[in-house]
């Protein structure tokens, strides 16, 4: 899905993905990551998700990233704290309390910024990306995150394939995309009444390979999903 697709989604308020409450999997499973309260959490493709509020209430610093300036403005406007703005190349940065909300393409984030990230929270991010982009996204995160960095990943699979987001994402694909660079543990799997399967994974960035070895590419899995 290109930028214009998401611009239309935000312009038309076609926000079926937006949850009016905090995600239940986040509340149930986040503690499994065993993070210190002051840890820095990246929320890629964040929309205006209330999950960021919950992460902030846990004491974390949060970096939310979304292509849409409207998402940024809507989120910030629904919070009373003052906002400080800056621009960096194509990115519009806004600080509000312990939140940094970046309006821009996640692929344009600086590696230095992501190096300081302790954990990633992905709900409706990877599933919003078409298959062709997913491998680049997974490799980008793997290259930027430090060893030991963790991720909580919520996926979904509908009985039918869809032509627009959210796209299906299977456990096998999670392993294919991330298994080379992350240890993966499936924390939860449920099949809803409508046939949609939701799964929750915890990932941990592996230590880098010894010097002289080739970097692992997505799909070259070293570790099976447990």
Ligand X SMILES: C[S@@+](CC[C@H](N)C(=O)[O-])C[C@H]1O[C@@H](n2cnc3c(N)ncnc32)[C@H](O)[C@@H]1O
Residues tagged in the binding site annotation for S-adenosyl-L-methionine: 10, 45, 123
To the nearest whole angstrom, how small is the minimum distance from the Cβ of residue 224 to ligand X?
Answer: 28
Give the three-state DSSP class for 70.
helix
182 burial level (CB within 10 Å; 0-12, 13-18, 19+): buried
Which stretch, 55-63, 65-73, 111-119, 193-201, contacts ligand X (CB under 6 A)? 65-73
Question: CA angle at residue 160 from 159 to 165, to 5 degrees?
Answer: 110
* 105 touching ligand X, by CB under 6 A: yes
* 66 touching ligand X, by CB under 6 A: yes
Q: In what order do the strands lie in the sheet with 182-191?
A: 84-88, 91-96, 99-103, 61-66, 40-44, 119-123, 150-157, 197-205, 182-191
To the nearest whole angstrom, how small is the minimum distance from the Cβ of residue 160 to ligand X?
Answer: 18
Which residue ranges make up the annotated binding site? 10, 45, 123
* 75 touching ligand X, by CB under 6 A: no
* 65 touching ligand X, by CB under 6 A: yes
Give the three-state DSSP class for 45.
coil
* 181 touching ligand X, by CB under 6 A: no
8 A C-beta contact, residue 49 and residue 19:
yes
Nearest to 141 by CA among 170, 172, 120: 120
Which stretch, 45-53, 188-196, 200-208, 216-224, contacts ligand X (CB under 6 A)? 45-53
Q: Give the CB-nearest residue to ligand X.
A: 47
What residues are paired with 202 via a beta bridge? 152, 185
Among 35, 55, 94, 106, binds ligand X (CB under 6 A): 106
* 64 touching ligand X, by CB under 6 A: no
8 A C-beta contact, residue 15 and residue 70:
no
* 114 touching ligand X, by CB under 6 A: no
- Contacting residues toward ligand X, per CB under 6 A: 6, 17-18, 45-47, 49, 65-68, 71, 105-107, 123-125, 128, 165
């Amino acid at each position: 899905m290109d930028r214009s697709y998401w611009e239309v989604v935000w312009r038309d308020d076609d926000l079926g993905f937006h949850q009016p409450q905090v995600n239940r999997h986040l509340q149930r499973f986040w503690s499994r990551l065993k993070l210190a309260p002051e840890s820095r959490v990246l929320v890629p493709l964040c929309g205006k998700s209330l999950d960021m509020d919950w992460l902030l209430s846990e004491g974390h610093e949060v970096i939310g990233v979304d292509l849409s300036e409207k998402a940024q403005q809507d989120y910030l406007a629904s919070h009373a704290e003052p906002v400080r703005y800056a621009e960096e190349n194509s990115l519009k940065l806004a600080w509000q309390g312990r939140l940094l909300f970046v309006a821009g393409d996640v692929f344009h984030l600086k590696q230095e910024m992501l190096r300081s990230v302790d954990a990633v929270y992905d709900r409706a991010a990877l599933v919003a990306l078409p298959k062709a982009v997913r491998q680049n996204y997974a490799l980008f995160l793997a290259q930027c995150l430090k060893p030991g960095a963790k991720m909580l990943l919520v996926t979904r699979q509908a009985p039918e394939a869809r032509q627009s987001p959210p796209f299906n994402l299977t456990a096998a694909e999670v392993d294919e995309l991330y298994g080379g660079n992350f240890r993966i543990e499936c924390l939860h799997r449920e099949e809803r009444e409508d046939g949609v399967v939701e799964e929750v994974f915890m990932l941990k960035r592996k230590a880098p390979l010894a010097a002289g070895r080739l970097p692992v590419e997505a799909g070259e899995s070293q570790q099976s999903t447990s």
